């Protein structure tokens, strides 16, 4: 099917259906690269990956390679990783430290703040013809360092990052703050990168808070792969949130989260009896967090997706994951694992092992998810399959379609702990990006009319 109609035509809110084309069509995918990944705020990396002047980490924005670099003066930049002369990648390493990026092709050189430092035979070949100041590396339009996480956009008209984040900030904070309640203070202890044959939106949607897919994880839930790995402790997180009230929220920019509120007076549950030192550390974090945050300490993060393609795990395990698109049917996942920078080495090592057991290409839970995404993609590419829409009717009732703002509004039937209204919010924005709507619309202007119409 060619992409001649408006993107909104693929998304039918009256019936709660979405065309499979948006997961398999190369033409829709090209539109996403042009209209969505060039405008939305994207996660690029973490400042702990580039602590010193000259440190760099090559990252991605959409399909394109970018360089996250700390310049000589200590300022952080994000540049397109492509020489201004003939486009060669100026940096072919994953990370490192340098004073110059020297293009391997004809040796134009750039300083770490992106400016041209040298052009071979400049005097003889270019003087008077070429102003070096005009040919710096291409830099993102806006960059924001939020508690160590670096976000960037190519769109000069984009709202500032905190406006874009909106009330999802409250939830993301829980993932980025120290376990004892101090703001920020996290570091990345490793990045897992892997390629899988599925559309990037399967992953993004999953982490909006799809608890409906819990049966997929039945096996890990039965054996228990929690932090302590104690035999007989059910679940993936040592039941930390068993008594909690769970909440699901959708936000104006298209983000969606699943968080939890612990009951009043909840206590630390020591599941680390096989290692008292680790247990003591987490008990200390628990008590200190309560002391610092008071009632707010009851609020715990679980998962979320920040529109369009950055998901987080907020508690145990703790990570950010970018779903970089390769094509309509292929995605590269980058999972950045987070720990408190000042945690004891023993705790960091312990968490590293737990994270790998849970998430990433070797993680037992992520493997379950990946099977769903890649088989669903494969089974949707056929001619017959493509004629039949996906079903998003689950949360299309009027009560689930009220505009959802302000953080922790409870949605869906809490007793069932399942709702898909975050997916509705996500794909509503997705369609609007593809239709090149202005930023006020992308941040929610006009939503009331939409909700009224959909509820009719």
Other beta carbons within 10 angstroms of residue 325's beta carbon come to: 21
Q: Match 């960059």 to its residue by tokens.
A: 143
- Kindly state the smallest distance separating residue 34's Cβ from ligand FES, in Å: 24
Q: Residue 369 binds what, of ligand FES, Fe ion, none (CB under 5 to 8 Å, by partner type)?
A: Fe ion
Q: Is 92 in the site for ligand FES (CB under 6 A)?
A: no
Dihedral sign for Cα 206, 210, 215, 220, please: positive
Binding to ligand FES by CB under 6 A, coded x per residue (else -) over 46-85, reads -------------------------------------x-x
- Kindly state the smallest distance separating residue 152's Cβ from ligand FES, in Å: 23
Q: Is 369 in the site for Fe ion (CB under 5 A)?
A: yes
Of the two residues 82 and 316, which places its CB atom closer to Fe ion in the complex?
316
Listed ranges 105-113, 160-168, 256-264, 344-352: which one lies at the site for ligand FES (CB under 6 A)? 105-113
> Phi-psi category of 133—alpha, beta or left, where left has phi over 0 and alpha has psi -120 to 50?
alpha
Q: Match 């590269």 to its residue by tokens.
A: 332
Of the two residues 130 and 195, which places its CB atom closer to ligand FES in the complex?
130
Closest CA to 108 of 80, 85, 133: 85
Q: Give Cα separations from 427 to 4, 19, 250 (angstroms).
A: 19, 11, 11
Torsion of CA 398, 448, 410, 216, to 10 degrees: 70
Of the two residues 76 and 175, which places its CB atom closer to Fe ion in the complex?
175
The 42-46 sheet, strands edge to edge: 42-46, 149-153, 142-146
- Burial bucket for residue 359 (CB in 10 Å: 0-12, 13-18, 19+): buried
Listed ranges 104-112, 170-178, 192-200, 255-263: which one lies at the site for ligand FES (CB under 6 A)? 104-112
**59 in helix, strand or coil?**
strand
**H helix or E strand, kind and range, residue 173:** helix 169-176
> Peptide bond preceding 452: is omega within 30 degrees of 0, i.e. cis?
no
Cα(335)–Cα(332) distance, integer angstroms: 10
Listed ranges 73-81, 101-109, 233-241, 397-405: which one lies at the site for ligand FES (CB under 6 A)? 101-109
- Kindly state the smallest distance separating residue 121's Cβ from ligand FES, in Å: 11
Of the two residues 279 and 361, which places its CB atom closer to Fe ion in the complex?
361
- Kindly state the smallest distance separating residue 435's Cβ from Fe ion, in Å: 31
- Kindly state the smallest distance separating residue 116's Cβ from ligand FES, in Å: 10
- Kindly state the smallest distance separating residue 101's Cβ from ligand FES, in Å: 10
Of the two residues 206 and 228, which places its CB atom closer to Fe ion in the complex?
206
Of the two residues 132 and 193, which places its CB atom closer to ligand FES in the complex?
132
Q: Residue 105 binds what, of Fe ion, ligand FES, none (CB under 5 to 8 Å, by partner type)?
A: ligand FES
Cα(43)–Cα(278) distance, integer angstroms: 31
Cα(233)–Cα(443) distance, integer angstroms: 43
Cα(290)–Cα(298) distance, integer angstroms: 8
Q: Is 108 in the site for ligand FES (CB under 6 A)?
A: yes
Q: Is 424 in the site for ligand FES (CB under 6 A)?
A: no
Q: Is 89 in the site for ligand FES (CB under 6 A)?
A: no
Number of residues that bind ligand FES (CB under 6 A): 9
- Kindly state the smallest distance separating residue 40's Cβ from ligand FES, in Å: 29
**Single residue of 8, 34, 54, 88 touching ligand FES by CB under 6 A:** 88
- Kindly state the smallest distance separating residue 125's Cβ from ligand FES, in Å: 12
- Kindly state the smallest distance separating residue 128's Cβ from ligand FES, in Å: 20
Cα(211)–Cα(85) distance, integer angstroms: 49
Q: Is 103 in the site for ligand FES (CB under 6 A)?
A: yes
Residue 20: DSSP 8-state = T
CB 200 within 8 A of CB 307: no
- Footprint of ligand FES (CB under 6 A): 83, 85-86, 88, 103, 105-108
- Footprint of Fe ion (CB under 5 A): 369
């Amino acid at each position: 099917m060619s992409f001649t109609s408006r993107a909104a035509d693929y998304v039918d809110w009256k019936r709660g259906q979405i065309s499979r084309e948006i997961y398999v069509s190369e033409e829709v995918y090209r539109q996403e690269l042009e209209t969505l990944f060039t405008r939305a705020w994207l996660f690029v990396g973490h400042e702990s990956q580039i602590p010193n002047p000259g440190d760099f980490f090559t990252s991605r924005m959409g399909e394109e390679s970018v360089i996250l670099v700390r310049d000589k003066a200590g300022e952080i930049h994000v540049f397109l990783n492509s020489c201004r002369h003939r486009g060669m990648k100026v940096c072919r390493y994953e990370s490192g430290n340098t004073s110059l990026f020297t293009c391997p092709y004809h040796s134009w050189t750039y300083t770490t703040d992106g400016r041209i430092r040298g052009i071979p035979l400049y005097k003889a070949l270019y003087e008077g013809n070429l102003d070096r100041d005009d040919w710096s590396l291409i830099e993102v339009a806006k960059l924001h360092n939020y508690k160590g996480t670096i976000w960037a956009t190519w769109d000069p008209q984009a709202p500032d990052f905190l406006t874009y984040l909106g009330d999802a900030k409250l939830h993301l904070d829980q993932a980025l703050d120290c376990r004892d309640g101090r703001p920020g203070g996290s570091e990345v202890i490793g990045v897992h990168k892997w390629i899988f044959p599925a559309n990037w939106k399967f992953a993004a949607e999953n982490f909006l808070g799809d608890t409906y897919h819990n049966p997929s994880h039945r096996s890990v839930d039965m054996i228990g792969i929690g932090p302590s790995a104690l035999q007989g402790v059910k679940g993936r997180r040592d039941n930390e949130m068993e008594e909690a009230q769970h909440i699901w929220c959708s936000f104006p920019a298209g983000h969606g989260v699943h968080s939890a509120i612990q009951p009043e007076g909840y206590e630390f549950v020591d599941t680390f009896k096989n290692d008292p030192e680790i247990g003591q550390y987490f008990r200390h974090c628990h008590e200190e967090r309560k002391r610092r945050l008071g009632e707010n300490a009851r609020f715990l993060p679980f998962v979320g997706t920040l529109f369009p393609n950055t998901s987080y795990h907020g508690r145990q395990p703790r990570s950010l994951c970018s779903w970089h698109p390769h094509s309509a049917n292929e995605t590269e996942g980058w999972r950045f694992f987070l720990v408190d920078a000042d945690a004891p080495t023993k705790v960091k090592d312990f968490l590293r092992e737990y994270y790998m057991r849970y998430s990433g290409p070797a993680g037992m839970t992520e493997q379950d998810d990946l099977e769903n995404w890649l088989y669903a993609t494969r089974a949707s590419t056929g001619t017959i399959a493509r004629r039949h829409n996906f079903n998003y009717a689950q949360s299309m009732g009027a009560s689930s379609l009220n505009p959802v703002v302000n953080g922790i509004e409870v949605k869906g039937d809490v007793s069932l702990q399942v709702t898909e209204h975050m997916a509705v919010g996500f794909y509503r924005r997705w369609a609007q990006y593809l239709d090149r709507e202005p930023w006020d619309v992308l941040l929610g202007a006009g939503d009331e009319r939409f909700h009224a119409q959909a509820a009719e």
